[in-house]
Structure 1
Amino acid sequence: MRLRRVAAAIFSLALLCWYSVAQAQLTRLNVGYSAISADQLPAWVAKESGIFQKNGLDVDLIFFTGGSTAILALVSRDVPITQVSGPGLVNSAMAGSDAVFVAAGITSLNYVLMGGPNIKKPEQLKGGTVAISRFGSATDSIARFALKKIGLTPGKDVTIVQVGSGPDRLSAALTGKVSAAVLNPPSSFMAEKKGLTVIADVAQMGLVFQHTGAATTRRFLKEHPDVVRRYVKSHVEAVHRIWTDKEITVKTLGKYMGHGVERDILERSR
């Protein structure tokens, strides 16, 4: 009996040592993400399902409100990799930064311009406000594009205001604090379920758009190619997991969206 206890203790100690060594071999990595929406699922699923760890990465996910804020954190080296949309990265690169995409996650638009409780038609937006996350972000570009498409001039007919994340913009629209908001799933599905009206479906407007993807800097890519390679591998594996494992995807989306999002909404957003 004593020998069994000794053997069990030795096994437990060996297992603990193995785990400690395995943890020590993981590369610590801070990764940004710029929205509370289903577009961020590749990073979230890679974290929650253990894909990052399997590929030797110990990832901490850090939220930045809007793509322009996330890009600023990237180029200032607060994070070496971030999930971000095209406009923020392109604007930064055109201004002289070395930001670059290494993987694409969402390459088509799923945004809508959703009116508040009393807004049912485009003309009712005149003199009103439209909620975006941050100036220079994807929601900013999308709001301006959509408004022009429905015959309104941003800054003249409609004021664009910075409100924050998708849930924050949804709340502002539902309570009438803004006339309309740029939303995407799950927030757009939640708004629809609560009776808000789609004023403009941007996906149907023919805008060619690189949305959420994984970005880094050319400097980090040159100095740490293996880390970037393992991150991209994790990203690809996570996309496959999203399509093949509904339960982990729904569970992960629910965790990051917070309480109160119904399962049918989470499933539609997948």
Structure 2
Amino acid sequence: LLIRGSVGMQALIGGSVDYASAAGSIIAAGVRGAPVRLVLIVNSKPQFDLVGQPEIKSVQQLKGKVIGISSRGGAVDLLTQLILTHHGVTPNKDATLIVIGTPEELATALRTGRIAACLLSPPRQLILYREGFNKLAYSGDYLTAYPSGGIGATVEKIKTNPSEVLAFVRASLKGLQHYTQNRAESVDNISKYLGIKDLSLAGEVYDLHVSRLGGLSYLDEAWKRGAIDFTKKSLGVTKEIPPSQVFDFSFVEKALGRSKN
């Protein structure tokens, strides 16, 4: 089922679905104390590029410009501010951040000149690059602990049916391995799933995605802490959150034969 992240979390907690794939929403729910855990991550690195108008060649040139975001305090807002600050552009002082909305609306605002730049993920930024827009920065160079895509389950599911969770995680890891090792088939699937008729564009989406998967870095404690800290900032949470409240990667460890149990 295709469900938006926040709605998917409600469905997961309510028992309408057994698993959810919106990693960011699952981490946010875990940080808030909801009885859910992220058990697998597909992309441990962010997928966003900061895309600018054709005449803008660097982040520094965004001084005095208007930049689009999807919402206040969300991941896109914080990532945008992180990139700007790193390049000496103070958010909402040197550059104005305005809420535009969905990725499609952000891309439209960029095309019409309403904004000078915004963060976009595949395939949108690749399409815009073909139209003459510029890549100003890759968000993963500024924040490495940011997941997109994964598997989340309730604590109850993990406790009552661990064999099913393990089977799901093991199958997902095998599928991910097949995806990365079979480019032609994967490009064809991307073309069909995303409705991209241009196979060369679908190939660009695949190559970019594979280059940004991030491997198993999410198993490291530093990665978990980084992801939690970023989410806490977006939610305005200040109290300490242990990784065990958000993640349970024991199934990944077992599937990979790394478990000590």
- Whether TM-score is above 0.5 comes out as yes
Deviation at 1:72, TM superposition (A): 4.6
Alignment of 1:114-125 (within 5 A): 114-122=51-59, 123-124=61-62
For residue 122 of structure 2, the aligned residue among 185, 188, 205 is 185
Secondary structure at the counterpart of residue 101 of structure 1:
strand
One-letter amino acid matched to 1:178: I
Give the distance between the partners of 2:74 and 2:80, measured in 1 at CA: 10
Partner of 1:215: 152
Cα offsets for 1:115-150 (capped at 9, x unmatched): 135544434353513233x55654344223223223
Q: Does 1:265 pair with 2:201?
A: yes
CA gap of 1:154–1:257, structure 2 versus 1, over 3 A, is farther
Scaled by the length of structure 2, the TM-score of the pair is 0.65
Q: Matches of 1:142 and 1:235 in 2, distance apart?
A: 28
Provide the residue aligned with 1:89 in structure 2: 26
Runs of 4+ in 1 over 6 A off after TM superposition: none
Q: Deviations over 1:97-122 (max 9, x none)?
A: 12211111112233211013554443
Flag the structure with higher strand content. 1
Q: 1:99 to 1:127 in 2, by over 3 A?
A: farther
Q: 1:83 aligns to what SS in structure 2?
A: coil
In the other structure, the counterpart of 1:35 is none
The residue identity in structure 1 corresponding to 2:202 is L
Match of residue 253 from structure 2: none
Aligned match for 2:186, one of 249, 252, 255: 249
Is 1:80 matched up with 2:18?
yes
SS of 2:17 mapped into structure 1: coil
1:163 paired with 2:88, answer no
2:134 maps to amino acid: T
Q: CA deviation at 1:265?
A: 2.1
CA 1:131/1:226 → structure 2, altered by over 3 Å: closer, same or farther?
same
- State the distance in 2 between where 1:105 and 1:168 align: 26
* Residue 2 of structure 2 corresponds to residue 62 of structure 1: yes
User: Whose radius of gyration is greater, 1 or 2?
Assistant: 1
Residue 161 of structure 1 aligns with an amino acid whose one-letter code is V
| Equivalent pairs, count | 203
Partner of 1:97, secondary structure, is coil
List gaps (5 residues or longer) in structure 2.
Answer: 207-261
Any idea what the Cα deviations from partners look like across 1:141-166, whole Å, max 9, x if unmatched? 4223223223334455322425224x
Distance 1:98 1:200, change over 3 A: same
Q: CA RMSD in A?
A: 2.8
C-alpha distance in structure 1 between counterparts of 2:125 and 2:186, whole Å: 18
Structure 2: distance between partners of 1:196 and 1:234: 39
Are the equivalent residues in 2 in contact too, given 1:85–1:210 (CA < 8 A)? no
Give the Cα–Cα distance (whole angstroms) in 1 for the partners of residues 92 and 17 of structure 2: 33
Change (3 A) 1:230 1:136: farther
Matched, 1:225 2:162: yes
The answer as to whether partners of 1:112 and 1:182 remain within 8 angstroms in 2 is yes
Find the counterpart in structure 1 of residue 48 from structure 2. Answer: 111
Q: Tell me the secondary structure at the aligned position of residue 81 of structure 1.
A: coil
Q: Residue 85 of structure 1 contacts residue 138 of structure 1 at CA under 8 Å; is this kept in 2? A: no
Map 1:189-204 → 2, pairs under 5 A: 189-204=126-141
TM-score (norm 1): 0.63
After TM superposition, give the deviation of residue 168 of structure 1 in Å: 4.6
Shift of 1:242: 0.6
Specify which of 105, 111, 129 is matched with residue 174 of structure 1: 111
Residue 110 of structure 1 aligns with an amino acid whose one-letter code is Q
Using CA pairs under 8 Å that are at least 6 residues apart, name the structure with larger relative contact order, 1 or 2. 2
Amino-acid identity (%) = 22
Letter in 2 for 1:268: E
